[in-house]
Amino acid sequence: MKSLHQLGLLCAALSLAGCASLSPDGGVSAIQDSASPSLKALGVSNAQIVTAPTAQTQDTIKALMGTTLTMDNAVRIALLNSPAIAASMAQLRISEADRVQAATLPNPHFSFMRAVEGDKVMIERAIGLNIIGILTLPWRSQWQGQQLELAKLQAAQDVIRLAADTRKAWISAVAAQQSAQYAAQAKLAAEAAGELARRMARVGNWSKLNQAKEQAMLADTATMQARAENMAFSERERLIRLMGLWGEQTRFNLPDRLPELPGEVRDAQGIEAQALSQRLDVRSATMQADNVAKSLGYVRASGFINALDLKLIRETTVDQATGDKERLRGWELELPIPLFDWGGAANARAQATYMQSVARVRKTAVDARSEARTAWHSYRTAHDIAKHYRDEIVPLRKFINDENLLRYNGMLIGVFELLGDTRANISAVSASIDALRDFWLIETDLQTALTGTSPGGLAGLQATTTAGNGEAKGH
Q: How confident is the model at residue 337 (pLDDT cuts 50, 70, 90)?
A: low
Residue 414 pLDDT greater than 80, yes or no: no
- Distance, CA of 74 to chain centre: 16
- Per the rule left: phi > 0, alpha: psi between -120 and 50, beta: everything else, 325 is beta
Task: Please give the pLDDT value at position 10.
Answer: 43
**pLDDT for 95 beyond 90:** no
Predicted confidence at residue 187, as pLDDT, reads 78
Cβ contacts of 253 within 8 Å, gap of 6 or more: 67, 68, 69
The H-or-E segment that residue 313 falls in is strand 309-319
Alpha carbon distances (Å) from 86 to 59, 101, 157, 464: 18, 23, 14, 36
User: 270-284, 422-436, 455-469: which has the minimum mean pLDDT?
Assistant: 455-469
The 10s digit of each residue's pLDDT in 75-89 is 999 988 888 888 888
- d(C-alpha 103, C-alpha 109), whole Å: 19
State the pLDDT at residue 47: 73
Assess whether pLDDT exceeds 50 at residue 195: yes
Cβ pair 90, 51 in contact under 8 A: yes
- For the entire predicted model, the pTM comes to 0.76
- At a CB cut-off of 8 Å and minimum separation 6, what does 364 contact? 281, 282, 285
